[in-house]
Copies of this chain bind each other. A is one copy, B any other.
Amino acid sequence: MKSYKDLSREELLQLHAKLEAEYEDAKGKGLKLDMSRGKPASSQLDVEMDIMDVLTSSSDYNTEAGMDCRNYGIVDGIPEAKKLMAEMMGVGSADNVIVCGNASLAIMYDTVSRSMTHGVLGSTPWCKLDKVKFLCPAPGYDRHFSVTEHFGIEMIIVPMTPQGPDMDTVEKLVSEDASIKGIWCVPKYSNPQGYSYSDETVKRFAALKPAAEDFRIFWDNAYAIHHLYDGAQDEILDIISECEKAGSPNMVYEFASTSKVSFPGAGIAAIASSKANLDDMRKAMTMQTIGYDKINQLRHVRYFKNLDGMTTHMKKHADIMRPKFEAVLKVLDGELGGLEIAQWTTPKGGYFISLETMDGCAKKTVAKCKEAGVVLTGAGAAFPYGSDPKDSNIRIAPTFPTLEELCEAADLFVLCVKLVSAEKLLDSVQAEKCAV
C-alpha cells in the first residue's frame, strides 16, 4: 500500500472524503463493543469450572502438614501454595514466597503503603520524607501508576524498548537520586507492549547500585505463564536469584497472581522476595490479618497440583486467545501495513497489543472509536498521570470480546486510525501551504 506520507494534498483530500464517508457508514451500524480492559472472555472462564468441584463438603481440608484450612492459623500462606506460586514465578525456593489474598495489586498497594508509614527494613518512613519518586517505564500498567500517584509519589517516565526499560536512563537516575525509591516493572509480556526483558536487562537490574538503600524494584510478573504460542515463548531470568548473585537480595519484590489463570478476583496472589524483606512484611501482616483465605489456596493447589498442571491449563486459554490476537494483527497488517501512519507490537503472550499512531493522534482516534461504539482504553492511560507526552500510544485489549465482535471492532479501529491520520496530514499540508 502507498504510504500516506507520499500522498499529495489532492490525494489526501480525496482519501479523507472517502474515509469520512466510511466512518459515517460505520457509525450507522450502532456498534457496542469493548476492547478497553485486559479481561478474560467468559469462554476462558468456562474451561476452568472444574476447579469449583475440587473442594466439596466431603473433602479433606488439611494441608499436607495437617493444618485445617477451615480454621485460623498460618498468616503467610499454606506451604503447598507457596510451592505452587514459586514454580509459577520461576523462583527457586518456596521460602522466598508469601501467598496472600486474591489480588497481587493489593500486595503492591500494601507494600507501598507500608513503606510510607513504616519505611523499608528500618529506613525512614517515606511519608516523613520531603520527596519520594518512582521510575515508571512507559507505556506501562495504569494501575501501577495510580498506586504511586495515590500516595503522592512523583513519577518519572523511563522509555521502553523491546528489550525492556532503557537501562542507561534507569542506572543513571537510580544511582544519582536518593529520592528515587522504586521502579515499576512488568518484565514478561509487558502491559501494554507485550515486550519481555532481555537477559541483559534483568542482569542490569540486579546490578543496580541505587543511591537509596530503600530503593526497591517492583517486579510485577503478571504474565509469567501467559503464553499465546506453544513453541515460540518468551522466557526471562529469575530476578530473585539474579539479585542474590549480585549481592543485593533485598532490592526486589516480585508479584504474581492466578487472576488470569483461574478467576479474576477469586484467584490467589503472591509476593517473592528475600527473607529479610518477607520478615519485614510478615511483621505488619500479623497486625493486618489473622490470615488469608486458605481454603482458596488449597483449592488452587489441589486443582493445578504443580507448574505442569498450570501450563497445560494455560494452553486452553491460549487456544481461545490466540485467534483473537491473530485476527487483530491481520486487520492491522492488512489495513495499516505500509501506510506509515502507525506501528504496533506482535506479542507472544500477555493480554495486550500496543499501537503507536503519529504524534498527537491517539486521543482523537480513541474518541472517534468511542463515537462509533467501540470503547478502547483511554488514550494516555498507559502513562503516569494519564498523560502520554506524544499522544501516540493506544492499548488494544483483544481478549474479552468474541472473535466476531473483535473483527468488527478492529475494522472500525483501523478506519479511525486512517481517518485521524489523514486529517493530521492534511492539516500539516495546509500549514505548509500557508507558510509558503
A residues adjacent to B (C-beta < 8 A):
37, 39-40, 42, 45, 49-53, 55-59, 68-73, 101-103, 105-106, 109-110, 113, 116-118, 125, 127-128, 143, 146-147, 150-151, 259, 263-266, 284, 286-296
Contact = CB atoms under 8 A, between A and B. Distances in A.
Given A106-B289, A109-B289, A265-B295, A70 B45 contact: yes
B287 A71 contact: no
A265 B293 contact: yes
Contacts of A292: 102, 265
Copies of the chain in the assembly:
2
Nearest to A58: B49
A143 B293 contact: no
A50 B55 CA distance: 11
Contact of A105 (B45, B49, B289, B293): B289
Contacts of A146: 286-287
Contacts of A69: 265-266
A284 B105 CA distance: 12
Given A116-B117, A266-B296, 7 more contacts: A52-B59, A53-B57, A70-B263, A71-B264, A72-B264, A101-B101, A113-B117
A371 B141 CA distance: 56
B287 A39 contact: no
A117 B57 CA distance: 43
Given A52-B55, A264-B71, A117 B151 contact: yes
A359 to B, nearest CB: 30
B106 A116 contact: no
A63 B37 CA distance: 21
B290 A266 contact: no
A304 to B, nearest CB: 15
A39 B72 contact: yes
Contacts of A265: 69-73, 290-295
Contacts of A101: 101-102, 293
B284 A264 contact: no
Contacts of A110: 288
A150 B143 CA distance: 27
- Top-7 shortest CB links A-B: A49-B57, A266-B295, A109-B288, A150-B287, A72-B264, A127-B127, A45-B70
Contacts of A70: 42, 45, 263-266
A69 B45 CA distance: 11
B264 A290 contact: yes
A233 B69 CA distance: 31
A71 B57 contact: no
A293 B293 contact: yes
29 contacts: A39-B71, A39-B72, A45-B70, A49-B58, A50-B57, A52-B56, A69-B265, A69-B266, A70-B266, A71-B263, A71-B264, A101-B101, A102-B292, A103-B289, A103-B290, A103-B291, A105-B289, A106-B288, A109-B287, A113-B113, A113-B117, A117-B117, A127-B128, A143-B287, A150-B287, A259-B290, A264-B291, A266-B294, A266-B296
A4 to B, nearest CB: 37
A40 B292 CA distance: 17
A49 B60 CA distance: 11
A117 B127 contact: yes
